[in-house]
Structure 1
Amino acid sequence: MDELARTIWEISHAAYTDDAPWTAEQFASDMKLAHSHYFVEKTETVAFLGFHQVCDEIEITNIATKIKGRGYGTQLLERLLDYAKVHQIATIFLEVRASNHAARLFYEKFGFLEIGRRKNYYQHPQEDAVLMSLKVGKADE
């Protein structure tokens, strides 16, 4: 297995209080997809942001930090927003556990809005997913 995929899984496993949403094998498989991208905080390898880009849309698949409160998540999301502007992305989407109020507030700070829910989307424990989006490009695009 790819060392980077294993490292990203370790960050994810440390960051999520329930259970890491993806296995190391799923990360390795996802990294092979042409439309899949990852930003990794390289100084200490303590944070990552994974996303899929299809045409002018991005879906954040994962964002996690081993160490909270140091701004790594903010840095990675700002990096993604810069990337989105350069690559003329219209909208960024994500989903988050309904009970993850800290994450939802974090995304709202960047302008993400709730656009829907997926009933019982998450397992261990079973829970709804809140769908959020952020318009990056012009509203008429």
Structure 2
Amino acid sequence: MTDSFRIRRATVADLDRLAALESVIFENDAWPEALWRSELESPHTFYLVVERSDAPAEVVGYVGLLSLPGGHDGDVQTIGLAEGARGRGLGRELMRQLHEEAQRRGVREMFLDVRVDNPVAQSLYRSFGYEEIGVRKGYYQPDDVDALVMKATL
């Protein structure tokens, strides 16, 4: 990861920037702002954002965790990076920090969904020990793309 980026905990103050970036990254199936708000306000979620060190108002990436108190499983809710922030190790660092938080919360198994047509993301997840455990047909709409369901033991 280069020194020109900073990762920090997301807050509701990041809502507009997160929703805007999401609509660029996931054009057809972006989360609506109301869903982002509920995710950021929930006591059961943990979100990180990546911002440029020289332009902190510019969010270029994010990742989110859902874990319920007393539970031993967690979900990677979402992860995304702006095109110009890719290939710098930021996705790997986001996942590493997300797993650290999951372990602090007592999570033992992590789950995620990933598009079958996204081999770069699948490769990243496999490098963290995720394995395919199922397929959700037509999960990503309106593109009608299947999702691989993946699981990792922490």
TM-score exceeds 0.5: yes
Moved over 6 A (4+): none
Q: Determine whether 1:82 maps to 2:100.
A: yes
Q: Determine whether 1:41 maps to 2:59.
A: no
Corresponding residue number in structure 2 for 1:61: 77
The answer to whether the Cα contact below 8 Å between 2:64 and 2:98 also exists between their aligned partners in 1 is: no
Between 1:77-86 and 1:90-99, the stretch displaced more is: 77-86
Q: CA RMSD in A?
A: 1.7
1:41 counterpart SS class: strand
Counting aligned pairs with the same residue, the percent is 26
Count of residues in correspondence between the two structures = 134
Q: Determine whether 1:10 maps to 2:28.
A: no
**Given the two structures, how large is their TM-score scaled by the length of structure 2?**
0.79
The answer to whether the Cα contact below 8 Å between 1:97 and 1:130 also exists between their aligned partners in 2 is: yes
Greater strand share, structure number: 2
| Separation in 2, partners of 1:49, 1:31 | 11
What is the deviation of 1:60?
A: 0.7
1:73 counterpart SS class: helix
List gaps (5 residues or longer) in structure 1: 137-141
What is the deviation of 1:25?
A: 2.1
Alpha carbons of 1:135 and 1:78: their partners in 2 closer, same or farther (altered >3 Å)? same
What is the deviation of 1:59?
A: 0.4
